[in-house]
A and B are shown apart, each in its own frame.
Chain A
């Protein structure tokens, strides 16, 4: 331990730099605008009550409000009633900075909708990828058929093509089909995961043939074998692939940015955050960082809960 102190020193310094933006993001999502501007309040901020100016302005009483409130404030002049109403509004519009930031994150933009879109898109992509890749991987690993070598060469060749790189022709094809600004556009280019086929094939190669022969003896067809026999043996590989796929598509910004323009209903979380930033007048650091925190957290929490699995998943998908 004592001999290793310099290693800990280096690694700790590195860790501080790595964590700094996370620290700042979460900390700003707790603080009031004033604390952010002046750079004070430690990690959590002082959490003093603050008044949401915009909310007060929105509730600025007009003549009708004052007339309606006259019953509640008998024997007072209009000016006095007005003051009382403003005081009421101010009281109701004041809250702790952390509450302010996170409510704003969900009310200024339809963040919940964005999150659901993200889940929907990520889940559909993974589901279709499995549906397409697993049968193909099984055939390539375990069945003898004319053209197998050719199909496998095709898989190896396609591994060379990063989908982001061909985004422009894909975008044009989708535009010609009239599919831009649809959920389909967000999902379609990712339905085929060549990498998934490759990974699952490598895994299926290790499954003993006897298992498949026995299943055939029992009268199972090839389709049934894929889902009933092969898939259950491949859970570790499938899990690795799931992690790989979900992380990539939850975080993806480039492709949604290209095919979704303007239609907020289709925004994925990163697009929503981008839009939030574009709209902001600069005083919205707190809510924006709250949005960022909400978007980043699901994967980080999942990662912290199942670190081993995540790291294995990412490396497994890397090494083969």
Chain B
């Protein structure tokens, strides 16, 4: 009986174990090995080049731009999409009416094909016929023109060519990232909020926490700790993987002056399009290192929390 069960157990897990090995672990090893070579597809021989690929990563200006673009994106999108997600969740939870409606609307971008929506955004951002600049033009001749230099400038000359201007390109990408992601965070926070006990608020009120802010600081925020850790980690990992918008807007080159040359796009461009596998593999390894560090920090935080509570 015992032995039969053991055999069955292995038969049941074997496909999964084999696939994990071949599809997840092997590629990580392959990437690590190839990052020390000058391998390219269609070329049978290759040379070991030591740390040359990594050396380039940290000395070439293209890669400097890649790191700047990636970190700008992550550092902007993660806090804002988490903050907006929390804000929306708190507002929605405190309402009696229309809760479901807001929830549905904010969740729409999460379900939508990002590539299709990128193209829709591209039209919105079109310098002459786009909805955004048309809306901005409505503000011309109003008081906005006096108080907002951007507006005055736009009305006097032209409004920005959003996607063609290196000052704006990365922020447009960030904006779309936030637009797409904060509904997901909101839903996770709403789920987290249902777990906060009512009595805790009463207790806090007894202790003199009168204002809404006090109650939030003393009860809600600590209770949402685990949710926040999870939401931040998953937002980070998703943010590191930004690709669709960049590829949709600038199929070649990663934006004006490479200002939106994010890591995923770099891997795609170097490794797949230019067949510089060594370079692509070294970016892949860097990417995995970032993701591992993030997840380990998350697990450490979660475990500390568990022991704490």
Contacts and interface: CB of A to CB of B under 8 A. Distances in A.
A18 B183 contact: yes
Given A165-B284, A168-B280, A169-B31, A7 B91 contact: yes
A4 to B, nearest CB: 6
A231 interface: no
B230 A318 contact: yes
A132 interface: yes
B230 A319 contact: yes
Contacts, number: 265
Interface stretch (A45-53, A56-64, A104-112, A309-317): A309-317
Interface stretch (B14-22, B65-73, B143-151): B14-22
B281 A136 contact: no
A162 B241 contact: yes
A310 B111 contact: yes
Contact of A143 (B8, B227, B268): B8
Nearest to B290: A165
B115 interface: yes
Interface in A1-54: 1, 4, 7-8, 10-11, 14-15, 17-22, 24-25, 28, 36-37, 39
Given A145-B10, A226-B12, A296-B112, A315 B187 contact: yes
A163 B15 CA distance: 18
Contact of A299 (B10, B102, B111): B111
Contact of A160 (B98, B112, B116, B291): B291
Given A15-B102, A19-B105, A175 B20 contact: no
Interface residues of A, number: 94
Contacts of A303: 107-108, 111
Contact of B268 (A4, A138, A148, A257): A257
B116 A296 contact: yes
Contacts of A269: 113
B129 A36 contact: yes
Interface stretch (A71-79, A81-89, A151-159): A151-159
Given A139-B12, A148-B9, A253 B23 contact: no
Interface string B88-103: 1001101111101011
Interface of A: 1, 4, 7-8, 10-11, 14-15, 17-22, 24-25, 28, 36-37, 39, 131-133, 135-136, 138-140, 143-148, 151, 154-155, 158-173, 175, 188-189, 191-192, 194, 197, 221-223, 226, 247, 250-251, 253-254, 257-258, 269-270, 273-274, 277-278, 285, 288-289, 292, 295-296, 299-300, 303-304, 307, 310-311, 314-315, 318-319
